[in-house]
Structures are given as structure tokens and as C-alpha cells.
Amino acid sequence: MSNHSQEWLQRSRNAVWHPCTQMKRHEQLPIIPVARGDGVWLEDFDGKRYIDSISSWWVNLFGHNHPRIKQAIREQLDSLEHVILAGFTHRPVVELSEKLHALTGLGHAFYASDGASATEIALKMSFHYWRNCGQAGKHRFVSLQHSYHGETAGALAVTDVPLFSATYAPLLQSNLRVASPDARLARPGESAADVALKAIADVEQLFQREAGQIAAIIIEPLVQGAAGMLMYDPVYLTRLRALCDQYQVHLIADEIAVGFGRTGTLFACEQAGIKPDFLCLSKGITGGYLPLSCVLTRDDIYKAFYDDDVSRGFLHSHSYTGNALACRAALEVLAIFEDEDILVRNAEKAAQFNRHLAWLQDTPGIRHVRQRGMIWAFDVETERSDFSLAFYRAMLERGCLTRPIGNTVYFMPPYVLEETHMQQLSESAQAVVAALAAQTASTGSSREMPLP
Ligand SMILES: *Cc1c(COP(=O)(O)O)cnc(C)c1O
């Protein structure tokens, strides 16, 4: 690494508290200063390039340095960068809200700047709705085993990743948890749908007992991302929708990670033919350019807040609510989906990448190879507690940014991935899996920390 890069990483270590990171690790593990991005590539100050196979933490859809999104933001900059959204409005926020309504059948878009805030908004709205309807006793939330909905206190209370939530347990509302429909749990002879139906039985039992105190169930449709890309059958969503109707429980779909084409349809819920009561969106919404999130809901829920009484209104706010630049970027993202037939092209790319990854199917020690839309994942059988870190490092050396979750390796690439990139990712992963398996045999497990 050049002196120039060394200097940036040193200054970052001193000045920046990096997210999701035990900072002491960076005594050994270098932080990579990124000078620029272009398409799928990130480039450091020494000119070394990395394929961004995780879309910069799942936000980037059409690659870095995208001409159309850049141009849209530039144009918006010349008229209005931001304005208070209480008592005022502007063109991009109106147009985006209309577009999202047309695409989802849900409306009254309420904006914030990040995913966790969208979760908070949906939880608060659901509770407040029931309260406005004279059912304030419905104040608890249900989430799935291995769920992830963000890291603010309310969101963490519906998140089931102990590494993130256990420390803060005394700060978190006690909520309810149901089984994950994770297709990996299928026993011999069982299908993914069988697992989903068993998990649904768990929800039904809970609703039978506790629906009187349950405001909502929050789920990540089709793919539980942060838990390690656990995938499940859409029948779970269809049945869950029916149970929520039957027991008067709101269904909150957290499509923060899976929205905007990730699972093959524009929104994951479409694959089950269902409409949630609340839909949370963020991450890809601006193509990874600016922070923006949004909660959409049903007309009748909106109407329960519409009143002469101020306190029946939803008085939540964030300073940057409906930021004009971010909304303009989001409009351009939706225009790109339309103009460039992205979902059809993604299906072709997915088939192509599957062919490159065929080696996974017959490599010993690789389990649960899975794919949905533009998400690929597989589990590596290993004794190494540092597998994720070792894989991450070895892939970086080969010019690939990955970020395994435990022993799950996944790819969630920008939609502009081309065949040469697929090849580099696939061949690198194959070589690294083989190298790590060989090392395990000789060195046993390592004491290094895993990547969280
Ligand atoms: C990333 C994520 C969040 C949180 O979004 P942030 O912008 O990181 O706060 C919530 N839910 C899901 C499913 C996510 O993947």
C-alpha cells in the first residue's frame, strides 16, 4: 500500500468510528480508502480495483458513477436542494410518491433517511392506528427468528441477531418471535413450502393466543438478508397475509433490502401476490446515491389519523424528510427500471451467473446453494471461526469485495454486472474456497475475530 493510502487509513482510524466494526481489529486489518467508483468497480488510491459484489452494503443498483443518476441530481441541485416538508412540498417528492403509489397500490408516502427509521415509522404508525381505533392494548410486535430490521432501539427490538441486539436487551421493548421459514431447515423429503407451512402454524398459534395485544408482524419478504440470505417459499407470505386479516394484525413488509428488483420482481411481495399494510423501502431506492427511506400504507390506515384532533395525527419527523435531491435520484432510478427493461435483463444475467457458479453444486463442503433474483448465497462447512474474515481478505487480494456472514458467502451485485465480472467473482471464490479448505486441514481453527 502506498504512503498516500496509508495516510488515509491512519487518519480514518483516528477520526472516524466505523460502523459495525470492532475498531481494534484495524490494528491488523487495513481499512481500504476508496478514491473513486465506476460501474461495478471501486478503486483505491493506488489504482487497485475491486468488484463491488455487495453493492456497497446492498444500496447500489446500477453501479457507481452512473451518468443518468448523476445528471438528475445535478439538475435538481440547480433548482432546489432541500426544503422543510412540514407545510411545504416540492416536485420530486410529489412525483416520487405518485410513482410509488402506482407501483405498489399503497400510498401516503412518509419519508425518512435510512432503513431503521422506516422500521420505526411503520411500528409507530401501526401502534398509533390501533390506538386511534380504541385498541391501545395492541402494542406488541412479532418478528421472525433471525430477523433484521435495523439498529435503532425500536428496530433492534424486532431484530433477532444477538450479536447486534443482546448487549442492548435492557433498552429494548419485549416483543414476540416466531419460527423462520428458512428453506435450509427442510428435512429429507420436505420441500421449502413444507417448511414455510410449518412456520406459519407457529404464527397461527401465537395469533390465537395473543392477537389482542399484537399490533403488527414485521417480515423481510422472501429473503432474510442480514441473517445470511436465508430464503423461503412465497407461500409463507400468502398464508401470513390471510392470518393477519383473520386476526386483525398488521403486516409490515420490510423491503428495505429486497425491494427494487433484488428478488427478481420490483417488490418481493409481488411473488406471493400480496399487499402488506405497511411497506418499508430504502437502500436501493436512490440507486445508492443518497440516503432516503419511505413507508407506504393503505388509505384506511391513513384515514384513521385524519382528524381535527392534532394528537390523532402522526407527529413523527426527521429533518431531512423528503429531501429533494434524494427524491430526484429515486425518480431517475425508477425511470431506468422502465426505460432499460431492467427486470428482464436481470433474469438473463442471473441465468448467466448461475452457469458460472455451477461448480458450487459439486464442491465438497459447500451446502445450501441458493439464489433468488440478483442474490446468490452458499454455506461453507468449516471449523474456522475466522472463516468470514479469511474469505474477505483473500477475495480482496483477488480484487473482489465480498462480506461473508458467518460461513455464508453471498453475492448481491449491482445490476450492471457483466460476464467478465461474473467470471472473476466465480473463479476467485472457487480458488479461495479451495485454499481455505486446504489451510484448515493443516492449521486447524484460528483465533481471529469473525467479521460481524
Ligand atoms: C439494512 C436493513 C435495514 C436498516 O436499514 P439502514 O439504512 O441500515 O438503517 C432494515 N431492514 C432490512 C431488511 C435491512 O436489510
Distance CA 83, CA 104 (A): 26
Q: Dump pLDDT digits (tens) for 219-238.
A: 999 999 999 999 999 999 99
pLDDT higher than 50, residue 445? no
The residue-averaged pLDDT of 51-59 equals: 98
Q: Dump pLDDT digits (tens) for 236-257.
A: 999 999 999 999 999 999 999 9
**φ, ψ for residue 368, nearest 5 deg:** 55, 50
Report yes or no: 382 and 365 within 8 Å, Cβ to Cβ: yes
Residue 122, C-alpha cell as written in the block = 411503520
Q: What is the pLDDT of residue 1?
A: 74
Q: Is 225 in the pocket of ligand 1 (CB under 6 A)?
A: yes
Report yes or no: 270 and 47 within 8 Å, Cβ to Cβ: no
3-state secondary structure the chain: CCHHHHHHHHHHHHHCCCCCCCHHHHHCCCCCCEEEEEECEEEECCCCEEEECCHHHHCCCCCECCHHHHHHHHHHHHHCCCCCCCCCCCHHHHHHHHHHHHHHCCEEEEEECCHHHHHHHHHHHHHHHHHHCCCCCCCEEEEECCCCCCCCHHHHCCCCCHHHHHHHHHHCCCCEEECCCCHHHCCCCCCHHHHHHHHHHHHHHHHHHHHHHEEEEEECCCEECCCCCEECCCHHHHHHHHHHHHHCCEEEEECCCCCCCCCCCCCHHHHHCCCCCEEEECHHHHCCCCCCEEEEECHHHHHCCCCCCHHHCCCCCCCCCCCHHHHHHHHHHHHHHHHCCHHHHHHHHHHHHHHHHHHHHHCCCEEEEEEECCEEEEEECCCCCCHHHHHHHHHHHCCEECCCECCEEEECCCCCCCHHHHHHHHHHHHHHHHHHHHHHHHHCCCCCCCCC
Select from 1.20.1250.20, 3.40.50.720, 3.40.640.10, 1.10.10.10 the CATH code of 68-339: 3.40.640.10
For 9, half-sphere exposure in the C-beta direction (CA atoms, 13 angstrom radius) is 19
Q: Is 115 in the pocket of ligand 1 (CB under 6 A)?
A: yes
**CA-closest candidate to residue 284, choices 11, 136, 69:** 69
pLDDT higher than 70, residue 415? yes
Q: Dump pLDDT digits (tens) for 417-438.
A: 999 999 999 999 999 999 999 8
Q: Which of 283, 286, 294, 412 most suits a substitution to test ligand 1, by most atoms within 8 Å of the C-beta?
A: 283
Confidence grade of residue 210 (pLDDT, cut at 50, 70, 90): very high
Confidence grade of residue 441 (pLDDT, cut at 50, 70, 90): low
Q: Is 149 in the pocket of ligand 1 (CB under 6 A)?
A: yes
pLDDT higher than 70, residue 38? yes
The residue-averaged pLDDT of 81-86 equals: 98
Q: Dump pLDDT digits (tens) for 252-298.
A: 999 999 999 999 999 999 999 999 999 999 999 999 999 999 999 99
The residue-averaged pLDDT of 71-88 equals: 98
Q: Is 44 in the pocket of ligand 1 (CB under 6 A)?
A: no
Average pLDDT value over all residues in the chain: 96
Q: What is the pLDDT of residue 5?
A: 84
Distance CA 321, CA 305 (A): 19
Assigned CATH topology for domain 32-65+342-442: Aspartate Aminotransferase, domain 1 (3.90.1150)
**Spans of all domains in the chain:** 32-65+342-442, 68-339
Confidence grade of residue 448 (pLDDT, cut at 50, 70, 90): low
Q: Is 230 in the pocket of ligand 1 (CB under 6 A)?
A: no
Taking the CA of residue 114 as reference, the ligand 1 atom at the shortest distance is: 7
- Residue of the CA atom closest to atom 6 of ligand 1: 115
Q: What is the pLDDT of residue 443?
A: 57
The residue-averaged pLDDT of 59-74 equals: 98
pLDDT higher than 90, residue 24? yes
Q: What is the pLDDT of residue 427?
A: 98
CA of 180 to the centre of ligand 1 (A): 18
pLDDT higher than 90, residue 3? no
Q: What is the pLDDT of residue 2?
A: 82
pLDDT higher than 70, residue 55? yes
Taking the CA of residue 291 as reference, the ligand 1 atom at the shortest distance is: 7
Q: Dump pLDDT digits (tens) for 94-114.
A: 999 999 999 999 999 999 999
Q: What is the pLDDT of residue 4?
A: 82
CA 413-331-373 angle, to 5 degrees, is: 30
